[in-house]
Amino acid sequence: MASLNGRSRLLIIGLDGATYRVLDPLFEEGALPNLKRIMDRGARGLLRSTIPVNSAAAWASFMTGKNPGKHGVFEFQVRPNPGGQRMIASSRSIHGDTLFQILSRHGLRVVAVNVPMTYPPHPVNGALVAGIPLPGSSRSWAYPESLVDELDRAVDGYVISLPWRDVLGNVKPFLEQLTVMTRKRAKATRYLMERYDPDVTTVVFVGPDRLQHCLWQLLDPNHARYQEREARQHHGAIRDYFFELDKAVGEVLAGVGEETTVLVLSDHGFQAAEKQLALNEWLAEENLLRFPRAGLWSLIEPLRQMENPLIWRLRNWWRSNARTLAPKPGIDWSRTTAYAPWGFQQGVSVNLAGREAHGIVAAGAEYDELRNRLQAKLMALRDPENGRPVVREVRFREDCFQGPFLDMAADVVLVPEEGFSVSPPPRLRSLFRSTGWACGCHERDGILLAAGKGIRQERFAPGAAIQDIAPTALHLLGLPIPDDMDGRVLDELYSPEAGFGAPEYEATSGSDGVEMQDIYTDEESRDLQDKLRGLGYLG
Ligand SMILES: [Zn+2]
């Protein structure tokens, strides 16, 4: 790409969970002047997230340009093989080079700040500050490692994540903490931009995601628990947070010149979550899954459903001190044909013989018949209270994913309807329960704004996906695209006269053959599980 000084530069601003549903009214109110300026001088459209719709899979697809079947990360937990022990995902779980590694290889200078799934940091030609998941005790969250102390000094204690459970239900301190984190992030990013003079800067602000997970019912008049008085009471404070976020965007933007192309994107959108479907309970009702006899766990289970900081602390104590006393809510595998895998994967797996540790369903006709039955039953599932459909989309995994990690995906993948989230374990007492504080959850449609030289000034048609960002970024920078990327160049963003030319591709050596390795100590794993649970990512 031609630019005044012959150098193309790129700024990527990630707004985790950002959605036009929230941004558009704020644009109207004039609360987002910097983002609006980007939007007004460039292209605007939707950006589709991965299935399953979560930040681990989506940011991994953002960085690799690949679908989860190829990069191997479907959620914040991974397992080395279908029957294997699950472990918390890390940057080492992602197969293939990331955008930052590819740019570094081409000699471009990179600054990457808080992109999820970048811990432990890979070496780059520049600086990388890791994002979640990140063990609280770690002091190795930046590359080069000396940046940890440097950033702590530069912004008076750097903040990577938010211990938001302590402020649950307490809107004001929660938003104050978000604001502090956001300000420090912008300041640190500017610091790194000045220090490294990068060709490509990427920074992810996680504030919108955190805010919307627990305050969606104040934002969305269609939410079942929306109360006008309460919403009006908090409107100003929420708008102020987004104003701060916009200011942070402005601060980062001020660090680049006119020749820099700017992309603003989210890893997924957001929608209401009023009820949570207990998928395993449903499977049990359909006689596809059997639970063993209830144990001690069922006595303490009601505690899980309460939401206040004291109960959180008690639960944490229970987990760390009494875990051996609590029988895990198990599954009677000898009588189970289908189950919801752990984590946030939002799907159903078949207890397939030869693949699962205690598989009983034969491959071939029996497997096919069961998947068809599951699909039909899930699509027919209704909320008994009001007859609303619960599931929007049910797909077989090979229709969503391609690549060596296809076998790690649930056999049947589903996307819930607005209003519902889906939970595998823990075992619930009923099919549905209130989502409680987690009143908002992810939807597939996120945002993409693009501005800069040659970028069209218009809305582009739906069809862009998060895995398209890496190849598009490379092309905008005049670099070849590794031919194993699944994403395409988003040529709808720029005009044919812009001079970007036809995309060039470079051959890659194929699979890197890296083993999925667990890089965390037991203590770090426990800490991370706890954090991810707090973000609603683990049951
Ligand atoms: Zn989220």
For residue 327, what pLDDT is reported? Answer: 39
| Residues 6+ away with beta carbon under 8 Å from 470 | 62, 63, 64, 65, 99, 102, 485, 487
Do 375 and 420 lie in a common domain?
yes
In angstroms, what is the span from residue 457 Cα to ligand 1's centroid? 30
In angstroms, what is the span from residue 125 Cα to ligand 1's centroid? 30
What angle separates helix 522-534 from helix 309-321, to the nearest 10 degrees? 150
Across 109-127, b (16+ Cβ under 10 Å) vs e yields bbbbbbbbbbbbbbebbbb
Q: In this structure, what token pair is assigned to residue 446?
A: 């996120």
In angstroms, rounded to a whole number, what is the distance separating the alpha carbons of residues 288 and 390? 19
**309 vs 323, residue with greater confidence:** 309
Give the CATH number for residue 67: 3.40.720.10
13-47 pLDDT tens trace? 999 999 999 999 999 999 999 999 999 999 999 99
Q: Half-sphere exposure of residue 488, counting CA atoms within 13 Å on the CB side?
A: 8
Q: In this structure, what token pair is assigned to residue 364?
A: 């071939």
Please state the separation of Cα 405 from the chain's center in Å: 19
Residue 89 has pLDDT above 80, yes or no: yes
For residue 425, what pLDDT is reported? Answer: 55
Q: Is residue 246 in some structural domain?
A: yes
For residues 201 and 11, the answer to whether their CB atoms sit within 8 Å is yes
Q: How confident is the model at residue 1 (pLDDT cuts 50, 70, 90)?
A: very low
Nearest CA to 284 among 428, 433, 86, 397? Answer: 428
Q: Is residue 152 in some structural domain?
A: yes
DSSP string, 317-365: HHHHHSGGGS------GGG-SEEPPSTT--EEEE-BTTTSTT--BPTTH
In angstroms, what is the span from residue 213 Cα to ligand 1's centroid? 7
Do 458 and 360 lie in a common domain?
no
Domain end residue (candidates: 388, 404, 438): 438
Do 336 and 456 lie in a common domain?
no
In angstroms, what is the span from residue 526 Cα to ligand 1's centroid? 20
Q: Is residue 85 in some structural domain?
A: no
In angstroms, what is the span from residue 267 Cα to ligand 1's centroid? 9
Helix (H) or strand (E) holding 10: strand 9-15
Do 66 and 185 lie in a common domain?
yes
The mean pLDDT value for 302-330 works out to: 52
Among the residue ranges 42-46, 424-428, 482-486, the one predicted with the least confidence is: 424-428
Domain end residue (candidates: 438, 456, 491): 438
For residue 266, what pLDDT is reported? Answer: 98
Give how many domains the chain has, as a whole number.
2
Query: How far, in Å, are 211, 421, 482 from residue 164 at the CA level?
Result: 10, 20, 39
Q: Is residue 488 in some structural domain?
A: yes
In angstroms, what is the span from residue 135 Cα to ligand 1's centroid? 18
Give the CATH number for residue 434: 3.30.1360
**Mean pLDDT taken over the chain:** 88
Helical residues (DSSP H) of 130-278, grouped into ranges: 147-155, 171-196, 207-219, 228-253
Do 336 and 421 lie in a common domain?
yes
Q: How confident is the model at residue 298 (pLDDT cuts 50, 70, 90)?
A: low
In angstroms, rounded to a whole number, what is the distance separating the alpha carbons of residues 51 and 40? 30
Q: Is residue 276 in some structural domain?
A: yes
163-176 pLDDT tens trace? 666 666 788 989 99
Unique residue bearing structure tokens 């899930």: 378
For residue 328, what pLDDT is reported? Answer: 47
Strands 260-265 and 9-15: parallel
Q: How confident is the model at residue 325 (pLDDT cuts 50, 70, 90)?
A: very low
Residue 429 has pLDDT above 90, yes or no: no
* Ramachandran region, residue 489 (left: φ > 0; alpha: ψ -120 to 50; beta: rest): beta
What DSSP designation does 520 have? Answer: S
Residue 207 has pLDDT above 70, yes or no: yes
In angstroms, what is the span from residue 440 Cα to ligand 1's centroid? 9
Do 142 and 254 lie in a common domain?
yes
In angstroms, rounded to a whole number, what is the distance separating the alpha carbons of residues 55 and 133? 10
In angstroms, what is the span from residue 146 Cα to ligand 1's centroid? 30
For residue 525, what pLDDT is reported? Answer: 83
Q: Is residue 126 in some structural domain?
A: yes
Residue 355 has pLDDT above 70, yes or no: yes
For residue 515, what pLDDT is reported? Answer: 57
User: What is the domain range of residue 230?
Assistant: 11-71+98-268+444-509
In angstroms, what is the span from residue 13 Cα to ligand 1's centroid? 17
Q: Is residue 303 in some structural domain?
A: no
Other C-beta atoms lying within 10 Å of the C-beta of residue 104: 20
In angstroms, what is the span from residue 465 Cα to ligand 1's centroid? 18
Do 251 and 185 lie in a common domain?
yes
pTM higher than the cut 0.75: yes
The mean pLDDT value for 62-74 works out to: 96
Query: How far, in Å, are 69, 218, 327, 437, 536 from residue 306 at the CA level?
Result: 36, 20, 20, 10, 14
**6 vs 457, residue with greater confidence:** 457
What angle separates helix 171-196 from helix 228-253, to the nearest 10 degrees? 10
The mean pLDDT value for 37-65 works out to: 96
In angstroms, what is the span from residue 262 Cα to ligand 1's centroid? 24
Q: Over pLDDT 90: what percentage of the chain?
A: 69
Strands 200-205 and 391-396: unpaired
For residue 166, what pLDDT is reported? Answer: 61
In angstroms, what is the span from residue 324 Cα to ligand 1's centroid? 30
Please state the separation of Cα 198 from the chain's center in Å: 26
356-376 pLDDT tens trace? 889 999 999 999 999 999 999
Do 215 and 353 lie in a common domain?
no
Q: In this structure, what token pair is assigned to residue 421?
A: 């989230």
Q: Is residue 284 in some structural domain?
A: yes
Do 402 and 277 lie in a common domain?
yes
In angstroms, what is the span from residue 352 Cα to ligand 1's centroid? 31
| Residues 6+ away with beta carbon under 8 Å from 233 | none
Do 162 and 21 lie in a common domain?
yes
For residue 424, what pLDDT is reported? Answer: 62
Q: In this structure, what token pair is assigned to residue 85?
A: 């022990």
Do 284 and 421 lie in a common domain?
yes
For residues 422 and 277, the answer to whether their CB atoms sit within 8 Å is yes
For residue 321, what pLDDT is reported? Answer: 47
375-395 pLDDT tens trace? 999 999 999 999 999 999 999
For residue 318, what pLDDT is reported? Answer: 54
For residue 167, what pLDDT is reported? Answer: 63
Among the residue ranges 46-50, 78-82, 305-309, 428-432, the one predicted with the least confidence is: 305-309
Q: Over pLDDT 70: what percentage of the chain?
A: 85
Domain end residue (candidates: 438, 467, 495): 438
Other C-beta atoms lying within 10 Å of the C-beta of residue 280: 26
Q: How confident is the model at residue 516 (pLDDT cuts 50, 70, 90)?
A: low
Helix/strand/coil (H/E/C) assignment for every residue in 121-170:
CCCCCEEEEECCCCCCCCCCCEECCCHHHHHHHHHCCCCCCCCHHHHCCC
Do 47 and 176 lie in a common domain?
yes
In angstroms, what is the span from residue 104 Cα to ligand 1's centroid? 29
Largest Cα separation within the chain, whole Å, is 72
In angstroms, what is the span from residue 537 Cα to ligand 1's centroid? 8
For residues 75 and 537, the answer to whether their CB atoms sit within 8 Å is yes
227-252 pLDDT tens trace? 999 999 999 999 999 999 999 999 99
For residue 331, what pLDDT is reported? Answer: 85
